[in-house]
Each structure stands twice: as structure tokens, then as C-alpha cells.
Structure 1
Amino acid sequence: MPKHISWKVTYLTFCVGGFIAILFDVIIMSGWIDVFDLGQAKLPGLGDLICYSVIAPCYAVIFLNYYQPERKWMPVVLFTLLSFLSEWMLVKVGYMKLKGWNTWWPLPVYFLIFGFWLPLHIRLIRKASEN
């Protein structure tokens, strides 16, 4: 994989991405709103931790390694589809159990994350590093 981002960008992206994934998925979507369960519903485990706090930030770091503002949309579409397929496979193998949720619904969220939030994220980090 190319190394187009620094270790600082990697570290910040991984930490912020993991925090947001845990906040959004654990607290809001599967806790408060309760639209899906991973693994055993009442017994969180290592698989849940990996799904929430490792996979999403890894996708974000890999995306930013390939991100080029002048050729933005191909990686955005690719990583949106990759994220969707990852969630779809979790449902198909039975690890993710949907409760009033549809696997298609996160597609716009993934598109916003890869198309707008991560490019803004890297611009802010680079701008802060210049100062």
C-alpha cells in the first residue's frame, strides 16, 4: 500500500474514526435506537470490539492513503461499496442481526464519510500541522 499520509494522520484518523464508530454504532444505533445486534445480543465480545473500533478506522486510513483530491470520486465509490459489502456479508453469515434495519440504508452515510468527512478531516489535520 502506498504511504501518502504521515503517521500523525494515520494515528489521528484511527483514533477519531474508532471513537466515532463506537459512539455512533454502539451507543446510538445498537444501543439507544436498537436496530441491530452483532454476535450474541446481550453478550458483547471481541468480535464486537473489532467490528466497531478496528474495521471502520482501518478503512478510513486505507482510503486516505489512496485519496487524491484531483481523483476523488473513484476511491469514494470503491470504499462506499466496500463498506456496504462488509456490512452485507456480516448479515449474510448471520453475525449481524437486523431488527428493523435495512443494509441499504447506510450507503448514503458511507458516501458522506468517504466523499466529504474524511477529505475534510485530512485537510484540517494538514492545516493544523502547518501552524
Structure 2
Amino acid sequence: MVHLIYDRRFDINEWFVLGMIFGGLGFIYFLPKKLPELTAAYCFLIGPFLGMIFDHTIAVPPLDLYDVGDEPIYSLFDLLSYTMYAPFGYIFVYFYERFKITGQKKVWYIIIWTIMAILLERFCVIIGVFQYKNGYKIAYSIPVYFFVESLLLFFYLYFFKKKASPSEVKN
């Protein structure tokens, strides 16, 4: 077993998390308002929710494949790091609607977002937001991101996308 040395100072990984949160929210602030309030609330909550579920599935014993933050124990900044996923849920759905993604393009849309998520995770590993352990490799995150983004889109389409009624189809 490899002994990990954790950085316990407030430094680049904490600044990065804060930057992602405020940068993402700032980006959203300047986007034209396209999503209804309830949909926007879903988008802001689903990212942190799914992040916590998957982190608490594969990043805690018995698997314990990686740590988040500066310590192997759960800390306040670990909780705060989940909020950096909130803008991504909104941006994901926003551009899905903006580009009017349909049919097989949905798969390509999810693949593109998976690639962006992997690149972001790689950067997070480099700056110390995540520390892999117990043989975890970034390639293992690919199916996780693909599944999470598919789930996010499925729930959005199922619960929030307006379905045409039979009378609307006839007209």
C-alpha cells in the first residue's frame, strides 16, 4: 500500500474549488435565461447529489479508491467541493436545450461532456483536489461520467421536458 502525503494548507486546490464554483455561477449569470426556475433548481441540485452518491460509493470503504481534498477524512472543503458540480448540471442542460440536441446526437453530446469531465478530473488530480489510491486510474472514471451524464439527461427529459399532448400533435 502506498502512503499518501496530504497537503494541509489552504492553497491551489481550495482556490480551484472556489474558482470553479464562482466562475461557473458567474458564467451562468451572463447566459440568457432559458430554463424555468424549477428546471434550474433541478440542474443546480442534481450535480452535487450525483457527485456525493458516486463519491460515497467508490471513494469510501470498502472500495476507498480516492480521497477528495487535503485529508483522507471528510472535511468542510470536501462538502464545498461538491457544490462545484452545481453549475455543470445547469450548463449541461442549458446547452442541451440551446443546441436542440436530439436523436443520436445525445450520445455524442454525452461523450463530449465525458471527455471534458475527464480533462477536468485530470487537472484536479494534478493540483491535489483528488488523490487516487488502491490502484484507481482516471480511465475508470470514464464509465462513471458517461453514466452520470446519461442519468442527468434521462431525469431531465423524463421530469422536465414538456411532452406534446395528442391534441398538440394533431395541430
TM-score tier after normalising by the smaller chain length = 0.7 to 0.9
CA displacement 1:1-58 (0-9 Å, x = unmatched): 3433222111123223322211221x22222221111221135132x1232x212232
Q: Letter of the aligned partner of 2:54 in structure 1?
A: F
Which residue of structure 2 lines up, in the alignment, with residue 92 of structure 1?
Answer: 126
Question: Where does structure 1 lack aligned partners over 5 or more consecutive residues?
Answer: none
Where does structure 2 lack aligned partners over 5 or more consecutive residues? 1-30, 165-171
Larger Rg: 2
1:9 aligns with 2:36: no
TM-score (norm 2): 0.63
- What is the count of residue pairs matched by the alignment? 126
TM-score normalised per structure 1? 0.79
Letter in structure 2 aligned against 1:19? F
What's the counterpart of residue 72 of structure 2? 41
Name the CA shift for 1:79/1:50 in 2 (closer, same or farther; >3 Å): farther
Residue aligned with 2:131, SS: strand
Match of residue 144 from structure 2: 109
Q: How does 1:59-98 map to 2 (within 5 A)?
A: 59-67=88-96, 68-70=100-102, 71-98=105-132
Q: Kindly provide the CA deviation profile for residues 29-88 of structure 1, in whole angstroms up to 9, marking residues without a partner as x.
A: 222221111221135132x1232x212232121010000332434532332122111111
Task: Return the structure number with greater helix share.
Answer: 1
For 2:86, which of 41, 57, 63 is the aligned residue? Answer: 57
Per the TM alignment, residue 96 of structure 1 is displaced from its structure 2 partner at its CA by: 1.5
Q: 1:127 to 1:43 in 2, by over 3 A?
A: closer
| From 153, 160, 169, the counterpart of 1:126 | 160
Amino acid at match of 2:73: K
Q: 1:95 to 1:18 in 2, by over 3 A?
A: closer
SS in 2 for 1:69: coil
- Percent of aligned positions with the same letter in both sequences? 22
For the 8 Å contact 1:91–1:97, the answer to whether it is kept is: yes
The Cα RMSD (Å) is 2.4
